[in-house]
Amino acid sequence: MKSIAFRFYNFFHRQVGFQIFGYFCNTLIDKSRHTAAIKNKALSLGFTSVGIAKATFLEEEAPKLEQWLQKGYQGEMQYLENHFDKRLDPRLLVADAKSVISLSYNYFPKTEQADASYKLAKYAYGQDYHQVLKAKLKELMDFVQKEVGAVSGRAFTDSAPILERAWAEKAGLGWNGKNSLLIQKQHGSFFFLAELILDLELESDLPFKTDHCGSCTQCIDACPTQAILPNNTVDGSKCISYFTIELKNELPAAEKGKFEDWMFGCDICQDVCPWNRFSTPHNEPLLDPHPDLLEMTKKDWEEITTEVFQKVFRKSAVKRTKYSGLTRNIKFLKD
């Protein structure tokens, strides 16, 4: 006959086991519910897609980033050399980070500039995307804290040392094309990327593993400055966007005649990408261009004044290059 002590021991462990099992099940249910709620809220805010990856060290990306920097592909963008460790580990940006939520936001315009005009990259048509997306990310973060409770985290959109495309790929949003941009089969590549890094454990999505560029080399062939290398890498120091936005000194004479009328940024590699035949116009009024912008001719741009610049680009990302930078670029294209 089993002793009372033995029976009590068995009873105690069964009860504790049931409690642990119940806690485990409830945790899984909460994680699933929180994940679904966050994704639904993100989509309701206008984000095109949302995926989640576990916040860990990007081991595969570390040697790639180091090699890219060693080859000088960053040009004079010295800020890309800073915070090397933070670029690879989100836990250095958010203490005890558990999840990286990656989001995409469409910016493909309804109407484009006339062919007989100096050109802006499409992302710069409307208001500064940093401000537009940060407002939506704040609303999403507020929702998380209301839905879950005490959650710490930070929101980013091209504003911190984060390898955005690597995280988006890990979260299943798409693949990195030969032009190094993230591409989605359903939407192409005309979208912004943003992130929420949280100390909340969520269900992770499967990473995107398939490269659907195949043998296509249209972006490589079309790049007039040969910035796109045949290994899914861009030499940033040769990119038209680098020259017209990042480079603060005089534009190099060796690049004369290669910019194909791009005065701020460049969309050539995206315009020729077959996947962008699936791009559809966005529904965000804040990203619509100033009415005057689409009407401006080359002559208008060549005669642009500081007053017109401030009027057309009052809340635009173009202000980054300033009036002096834009007129420098226009003069380079004209002469």
How do 153-156 and 191-198 pair as beta strands?
antiparallel
Nearest to 329 by CA among 243, 236, 267: 243
- The candidate with the shortest Cα–Cα distance to 140, out of 223, 44, 64, is 44
Strands 191-198 and 99-106 turn out to be antiparallel
Beta-carbon neighbour count of residue 73 at 10 Å? 20
Distance, in Å, from the CA atom of 297 to the CA atom of 134, rounded to the nearest integer, reads 33
Output the furthest CA–CA distance in the chain (Å, rounded): 103
Q: β-strands 119-120, 99-106: how paired?
A: unpaired
| Residues in the chain, overall count | 335
* DSSP secondary structure code for residue 3 in this structure: -
DSSP string, 159-228: SSS--HHHHHHHTTS-EE-TTS-EEBTTTBT-EEEEEEEESS--PPPPPP---TTTT--HHHHH-TT--E
Catalytic residue among 158, 199, 261, 271: 158
Residue 298 burial (CB < 10 Å; 0-12/13-18/19+)?
Answer: middle
Residues with Cβ < 8 Å from 288, sequence gap 6 or more? Answer: 109, 110, 125, 126
Report how far residue 53's alpha carbon sits from residue 203's, in angstroms, rounded to the nearest whole number: 8
Whether 235 is catalytic is: no
Whole-Å CA distances, 160 to 56, 61, 149, 331: 17, 17, 26, 32
Active site residues: 158
